[in-house]
Amino acid sequence: MTSADDATSRDCECYEAAFARAVCRLKVLYPAATFDRPAYKCRMSVVDDRGTELRPIELETGQRAQVFAASATQALTNAIAFLERQFGALTEHEHPCDDEDAFAHGRPFVVSAR
C-alpha cells in the first residue's frame, strides 16, 4: 500500500483485489476525524463478471458494508479479512485501480454480517 496514512490532499484511494468467488473494489476514504469513530473507512463493491459494473456490498440489514479503522492500512486490511469471509481466499493481492467512474453502478450485492 502507498503511504496513504499521511495523505493530506487526497480524499480516497481505490484498490482492487480478487478472491476465490469475486473480484472486489475497495475504496479507502479519509473523512474528517470524529470523536465517535476512527477517521478512516473502507467501502467495498463487487465487480460484475463482465468487468463493467460495480455492485456496492450491503449487509442483510440494508446498510452499506464498510469498515472503520484508525489508519488507512488497517481499514484496508480489515476490509480484505471481511471479504475473505464472504468470498473465499484472496487469490490476487490488492493493487491500485483506476477511477470508479468508468463503471456503471449496479444493484447492491447483499452479504451476511458475519
The pLDDT of residue 97: 85
Q: Assess whether pLDDT exceeds 90 at residue 5.
A: no
Q: Assess whether pLDDT exceeds 90 at residue 56.
A: yes
Residue 29 vs residue 50, higher pLDDT: 29
Q: CA quadruple 14, 64, 91, 38: dihedral positive or negative?
A: positive
Q: Please name the residue that has the C-alpha cell 476525524.
A: 33
C-alpha cell at 72: 488507512
Q: Assess whether pLDDT exceeds 50 at residue 21.
A: yes
Report domain extents, the chain. Answer: 10-111
Instruction: Please spell the DSSP secondary structure of 1-69, one letter per residue.
Output: --SGGG-SS-SEEEEEEEETTEEEEEEEE-PPP-SSS-SEEEEEEEEPTTSSEEEEEEETTSPBPEEEE
C-alpha cell at 77: 486490511
